[in-house]
Structure 1
Amino acid sequence: MAARTRRRANAMAARTRRRANAADASRRRRLPMRLTLPVLLLAALMAMLMLRGYVHSEILADHRIRPEAASDRVPEKILDGGPVIDTRGGRTTSLRVPDRHVVLTFDDGPDPAWTPKVLDVLKKHHAHAVFFVTGTMTSRYPQLVRRMVAEGHEVGVHTFNHPDLSYQSKKRVDWELSQTQLAITGAAGIRTSLFRPPYSSSADAMDDLSWPVTEYIGSRGYITVVNDRDSEDWRKPGVGRIVRNATPGAGKGAIVLMHDSGGDRHQTVQALDRLLPRLQQQGYTFDNLTEALNAPSAHTPVAGPGLWAGRAWVLLVQAADGVTGVLVVGLAVIGASVLARFALMLWLSVVHARRVRGRRFCWGRPVTEPVSVLVPAYNEAKCIENTVRSLTASEHPVEVVVIDDGSTDGTARIVENLDLPGVRVVRQENAGKPAALNRGLANARHDIVVMMDGDTVFEPATVRELVQPFGDPAVGAVAGNAKVGNRDSLIGAWQHIEYVMGFNLDRRMYDVLRCMPTIPGAVGAFRRTALERVGGMSDDTLAEDTDITMALHRDGWRVVYAERARAWTEAPESVSQLWSQRYRWSYGTMQAIWKHRGAMLDRGPSGRFGRVGLPLVSLFMVVAPLLAPLIDAFLLYGIVFGPTQRTIGAWLGVLAVQAACAAYAFHLDRERMTHLVSLPLQQLLYRQLMYVVLLQSWITALTGGRLRWQKLRRTGVVGAAPGAAGERQAA
């Protein structure tokens, strides 16, 4: 009994473990929320583009036209009969319009420019007509079809996107019919039994290729309507010629072919205004088809699910057209802004380089007094020794204060065991980087304070170059030149391009504009009095470096860029680590912008950042990157659906501009150009990752989410600062 009980218990435990393992596996397979929403938004964008392309005949359109063929298999009574052909239920009959009756028919619409004018002329002369509409145009302009029906005109199916049906399969024919009916239902709440094939002519032009299509169309419940008189208005032969072509002979009835779409139709409108009163004076009446034939209406009201499906379709098309229209405008604005930014960066970078590299340039008196270097460290055991040793080799006198923020890997003990002169360790419980920097500031002995990360390595001249701008008493902070030390991997090379081009070229521009948005955490220096006046480092945001920089601007201090103050930092080496870092940066920047939004109302010199810097940062660091995926979405769309050559040419043009900017930035930083080989791949892959990260940051901000500071895993791969000969070429 006991053994049986134990077996049951073990079996139940095994089942519980299997269910738990299955649940864990399901959770592992589930797409993370940080990816789900961005992916859904991007998928929705692509769906809208596809729908727009579909209703604009850019997708699934077939513009082939088959040449005329023999007519051996077409019944004689069809070839010799009238323009109304009925093959429903196995019939093979045709009808003519009675004498003194004219049925005006208009193909290819509705058109937003010309269909209203045609309808106005018909209304003016109390005439009815038949409009053979395409599904694409009906989906886009449903209000015009609604007006046609309301004013007593008939509508017929002219296929969805105007293919030659003799090329198409029965499945495609059914699709053309059903999609057009769906659009007509959504527009006017009806179905129609009238059909006109594209590229059709008179009944005697029916051949062995078009006749089987006509028979099949009849089996689907449609009456095929061709014409007696072709106005040839599509040729634009002149108003008089159109009137003559459309006029029946000797009092005969006729179905007249005209067009209300497909180009400039002003001759059609003028001819119609002349034709109608002339023939009415001769006793003609202008009816729709069923009126002329004294037949039941071709329109059948639709209700229930069919009506709602049609309305939903029209709403979707309208939404896709509206949204993509706005996106196209946004793309144009963003594209122009980005190109303008590139031009501004290049110009102001030249200005900056000439100014700071001029022989007579001087910040003021040379700064030679010792400075305090603060190194906040949390679990930096793999990097901290390289960091501290690089500081003790400084050409400028420094005291080094390592603030151990509750490390659990022995970071503080490693520094203490080095027993280096001028290096102190301050321990505190884990409280975050801002708190660690404030603790270090309280323990600093000097008036100028340098801040750096625990994974960063300075060159011997870095501190000296970093503090020279403080010779100008208006300078409150200095941004150094952060460089990627582990650039040998593909991800590292991409970040290297980003640092040199995206960050340092930007800093040169912002320096000239006097609105530097960020002192990089890897290498920055501050005047102690300036920090104390703004209350020190704040933990209000996840971008404490951006936050403090904006605060200094608002307090009236000048923030500048020291290009020769190079620091080598370890960039993330995996996609997940890069994601975590950039997610924090993006979200923290948004927080800082929101926190200092009042800067736009600041007065005096301190208001310059709010008037210039904050709008530029908001546009180019938050708004433009969010809309930039449009470039890639339209690129993909253009490559697949055309115009392919122009699309690729435009993309290569933008890439060439970016390459020129990157090459100039590398030249300014004396970097080897070889890393730019990966620039095209960076634009195709790395940039997309940054988009999704920014989109996730937006979603977090808009939903009120909170993001914690995340510690990146370090490898200590960046040892001593790379030598000038090994990593930089002469200018």
Structure 2
Amino acid sequence: MASRTRGRTRSGTAARPGAPARFGTAPRTRGRRRGSSPAAPADGARRRRLSLRLTLPVLVLAAVMAMLMLRGYVHSEILADHRIRPEAASGRVPEKILDGGPVIDTRGGRTTSLRIPDHHLVLTFDDGPDPTWTPKVLDILKKHHAHAVFFVTGTMTSRHPQLVRRMVAEGHEVGVHTFSHPDLSYQSTKRIDWELSQTQLAITGAAGIRTSLFRPPYSSFADAMDDRSWPVTRYIGSRGYITVVNDTDSEDWRKPGVDAIVRDATPAAGKGAVVLMHDSGGDRHQTVEALDRFIPSLQQRGYTFGNLTEALNAPSAHTPVTGPDLWQGRAWIFLVQAADGVTGVLVAGLAVVGAAVLARFALMLCLSFAHARRVRRRNFRWGPPVTEPVSVLVPAYNEAKCIENTVRSLTASEHPLEILVVDDGSADGTAGIVEDLGLPDVRVIRQVNAGKPAALNRGLAEARHDIVVMMDGDTVFEPATVRELVQPFGDPRVGAVAGNAKVGNRDSLIGAWQHIEYVMGFNLDRRMYDVLRCMPTIPGAVGAFRRTALERVGGMSEDTLAEDTDITMAIHRDGWRVVYAERARAWTEAPESVSQLWSQRYRWSYGTMQAIWKHRGALLDRGPSGRFGRVGLPLVSLFMVVAPLLAPLIDAFLLYGIVFGPTRKTIGAWLGVLAVQAVCAAYAFRLDRERMTHLVSLPLQQILYRQLMYVVLLQSWITALTGGRLRWQKLRRTGVVGAPGGDPDRTKGRQPA
């Protein structure tokens, strides 16, 4: 990740008055004290706005998780109970039930058993509705003018309400088959009530009715009723339901073949029957084929195919629902459909993100290898050696703790240079510290606070040389940094060079995480973009520019909060090459607290979005300068804005899979992704000759640190799309990153060159 400029607290808005609210630019505030504004709200109002901006990303993520949980619940992945109890004794079941028919009525304390009259068949279908097989079953019933009873589950009804609506519209009856298909003999009365009510809610939302028919899962004939299932049947009756089992089982669930299904479904000697079939639960093509043969065959033998109440000459089992109950059911169906739709989009997004991430890793490894092999050849030269002096610009605002180390590191440079420290209205004596050093070739330029871009432009105007190096006031250079940084200018096509920014304070956990991020960013991302000739950012901590290139694009711009990305894109569009110098190392102090890291990355993300929006016209650029628009801008948008925004899907599905299954496959997939990241990180560390010990914290980084970056990016998106205000944030510095070769106590955390 590029090290962008730190130390700013300038206030500003995301969009100029009268301009579109989306991806606006920060207004210019020359001459204004950073962090102050005539219209600045009170601290309480600021905290309230900040709280709202933090709340929005959390609410979005919570909504996504809620949709995922609802989808899992409806698909019987959450709260499902797949246990099946073995048969038990039947000593408590009345004999008239065991010897009776398939229709059992225990409502109001009754114990009644009914049979289907002769030459009447009631076809019943369990476990649906299924989007593939239920329509085929309905088509055959309609073709042969037959009715049936469909015992539907709440999960399938919620997902395919149009099929239940069609069943009712075509004269079929619908019965409850529980919501998630558990063995009710295992369940409490509270769970049974929940299974019934949730299924009725789905049926009401789908077809606007309630039903009084019920079939327990895993049921069989009446004589199979035992001491475990009978209490459930009585309780179901107390809730107003008639229990319907069967007395003729087609055994289509075994898939025995069409002939066997027809044979098993045919009752003996013209007797009536309740026939069990299935329209869901797997491949039902045998059931469909058997049904098309079975119905006309028995109709020719004098059988009628009606629903249950038609066969028993009883009142309809359906009761119309109106008022609040109807709207509650419709609301449920809407939420389930929305959850399925959102989850479908999330799954598609997950596939896109997964493919993009793996493709990016592969691309980074291949192109990084090619870049390292090219620049490390013994005979590799950018062109004639660059030996002329250069100007180094150090914009500084309240950098009293760091500025001495920064300046002293420059005076130890192996390359001739002049040093211009532009004090941008510091209030902590930064300029005086530099002046008191009395170092040669160091000039201090004081100006009223106007912001970093103005400070850099002021330094550019005062610079004496044709190559200009820019750095932050909290960064230190190695003696060879400037020399290595300017060598690519031996190629007259090069307009800017990105150096290798490294984290100096890496001893803490949060510092180690940023260290991994920086090493991977510079040694894989930067190399990849260099080979593709579409480098997106010259880091504010260590970068060099040809003065001609800067002047042709108008110098540093205040239009965005990521002036380094903005100027890099502008130089690309002007036709210059932007390259990476791996040996030009600079040591910077990274944020040491979560709040400081949040502020920094929030500004980076938002500023990058601003720069992309500002240079969106690059997509239409032609000629050599159009390469960035054709290749760079899409890659930057995909990998730095879109893919990270969708990447939380990986963690959302990871959490869901661990909790609700399949746990082993989920953990295996996550470990696979982590292994790919570890390989890339190890290769990046090897390229930069870094110790591998810091990679021990990589798994924890993927679990915690990445989540913070996701929320920051989401918050940046919300700010950009709503035109919210975003302020520069001044990070607190400690000065722990000292000049190379200096006092060990003042170079804590710096990796030796």
2:367–2:531 CA contact under 8 A, matched in 1: yes
Q: Which one-letter code corresponds to 1:116 in the other structure?
A: P
Q: Corresponding residue for 1:339? A: 358
Q: Which one-letter code corresponds to 2:241 in the other structure?
A: Y
Alignment coverage as a number of residue pairs: 708
Distance 1:28 1:460 in 2: 44
Q: Secondary structure at the match of 1:109?
A: coil
Distance 1:590 1:639 in 2: 34
Q: Corresponding residue for 1:501? A: 520
Q: Does 1:95 pair with 2:114?
A: yes
Q: Secondary structure at the match of 1:483?
A: strand
Stretches of structure 2 that go unaligned for 5 or more consecutive residues are 1-41
Cα distance change on mapping 1:31 and 1:353 into 2, 3 Å:
closer
2:368–2:523 CA contact under 8 A, matched in 1: no
Matches within 5 A, 1:19-168: 32-168=51-187
Distance 1:30 1:306 in 2: 40
Matches within 5 A, 1:688-727: 688-721=707-740
Please state how far the C-alpha of 1:490 moved relative to its aligned partner.
0.5
Please state how far the C-alpha of 1:715 moved relative to its aligned partner.
1.0
Q: Corresponding residue for 1:466? A: 485
1:482–1:522 CA contact under 8 A, matched in 2: yes
Which of 458, 466, 471 aligns to 1:447? It is 466
TM-score (norm 1): 0.95
Cα distance change on mapping 1:28 and 1:441 into 2, 3 Å:
closer
Matches within 5 A, 1:282-361: 282-361=301-380
Cα distance change on mapping 1:31 and 1:555 into 2, 3 Å:
closer
Please state how far the C-alpha of 1:576 moved relative to its aligned partner.
0.5
Q: Does 1:366 pair with 2:385?
A: yes
Please state how far the C-alpha of 1:30 moved relative to its aligned partner.
10
Distance 2:517 2:667 in 1: 23
Distance 1:243 1:31 in 2: 69
1:114–1:261 CA contact under 8 A, matched in 2: yes
Please state how far the C-alpha of 1:707 moved relative to its aligned partner.
1.3
Matches within 5 A, 1:189-338: 189-338=208-357
**Alignment deviations for residues 158-183 of structure 1 (CA, whole Å, 9 cap, x no partner):** 00010000000000000000000000
Q: Which one-letter code corresponds to 2:202 in the other structure?
A: A
Q: Secondary structure at the match of 1:339?
A: helix
Matches within 5 A, 1:183-194: 183-194=202-213
Please state how far the C-alpha of 1:43 moved relative to its aligned partner.
0.6
**Alignment deviations for residues 418-461 of structure 1 (CA, whole Å, 9 cap, x no partner):** 11100001111111000000000000000000000000000000
Please state how far the C-alpha of 1:728 moved relative to its aligned partner.
5.9
Distance 1:27 1:90 in 2: 66
Q: Corresponding residue for 1:553? A: 572
Distance 1:33 1:695 in 2: 13
Q: Corresponding residue for 1:521? A: 540
Distance 1:701 1:28 in 2: 19
Q: Which one-letter code corresponds to 1:552 in the other structure?
A: I
Q: Does 1:394 pair with 2:413?
A: yes
Distance 2:175 2:44 in 1: 56
1:568–1:721 CA contact under 8 A, matched in 2: no
Q: Does 1:591 pair with 2:615?
A: no
Matches within 5 A, 1:664-675: 664-675=683-694
Q: Does 1:433 pair with 2:452?
A: yes
Which of 506, 510, 527 aligns to 1:487? It is 506
Cα distance change on mapping 1:360 and 1:393 into 2, 3 Å:
same
Distance 1:322 1:445 in 2: 62
Please state how far the C-alpha of 1:713 moved relative to its aligned partner.
1.2
**Alignment deviations for residues 487-521 of structure 1 (CA, whole Å, 9 cap, x no partner):** 00111000000000124310000000000000000
1:160–1:180 CA contact under 8 A, matched in 2: yes
Q: Secondary structure at the match of 2:127?
A: strand
Please state how far the C-alpha of 1:248 moved relative to its aligned partner.
1.1
Comparing 33-42 with 656-665, greater Cα deviation is found at 33-42
Matches within 5 A, 1:595-674: 595-674=614-693
Q: Secondary structure at the match of 1:590?
A: helix
Q: Secondary structure at the match of 1:562?
A: strand
Return the structure number with greater helix share: 1
1:672–1:728 CA contact under 8 A, matched in 2: no
Q: Corresponding residue for 1:12? A: none
Q: Corresponding residue for 1:20? A: none
1:672–1:727 CA contact under 8 A, matched in 2: no
Q: Secondary structure at the match of 1:32?
A: helix
Percent of aligned positions that are identical? 90
Cα distance change on mapping 1:701 and 1:29 into 2, 3 Å:
closer
Cα distance change on mapping 1:31 and 1:381 into 2, 3 Å:
closer
Distance 2:48 2:98 in 1: 65
1:452–1:524 CA contact under 8 A, matched in 2: yes
TM-score (norm 2): 0.93
Cα distance change on mapping 1:722 and 1:667 into 2, 3 Å:
farther
Comparing 199-208 with 713-722, greater Cα deviation is found at 713-722
Q: Corresponding residue for 1:3? A: none
Q: Secondary structure at the match of 2:319?
A: strand
